[in-house]
Amino acid sequence: MNWLKRFMAGRYGADQLSLALLILSIVLTLIAQIARVPLLAAISYIPLALCIFRMLSRNVNRRSMENYKFSMLISPLYARFNKLRRRFSESKTKRFLKCPQCKAELRLPKGKGTIIVTCPKCRNEFRAKT
């Protein structure tokens, strides 16, 4: 195992982009197997080769910059997914509304009837049914 540590010393290793490339390769391989498309199976090796190349690369600065750009590209998707997941998990106890004036998202308890809500952002008061 010592030889592996010595071999990987100074190399970039795994990151989010490498993991995404690996998952893409696996998904393409599965689709190629199900659809029986040999060209797609061959294409599925390209992301895998890029993943291995990135992991074994010694150009750490360049790989870090690539991962940073990928993270900036994918972070809005993560934020949207987390917001939807939170709304779904709290949907039994909370009601989500938008302020009619500033469009801020408000979270109100369910089952309180019609209440007067004050937006914490713009201090606008409006009636809402929970």
pLDDT, tens digit (0-9, with 9 covering 90-100), for 41-99: 999 999 999 999 999 999 999 999 999 999 999 999 999 999 999 989 888 999 998 99
* CB distance 128 to 114 below 8 Å: yes
Model-wide pTM > 0.85: no
pLDDT at 42: 92
H or E stretch at 128: strand 125-129
**Position 22 confidence tier, pLDDT thresholds 50, 70, 90:** very high
**Position 111 confidence tier, pLDDT thresholds 50, 70, 90:** confident
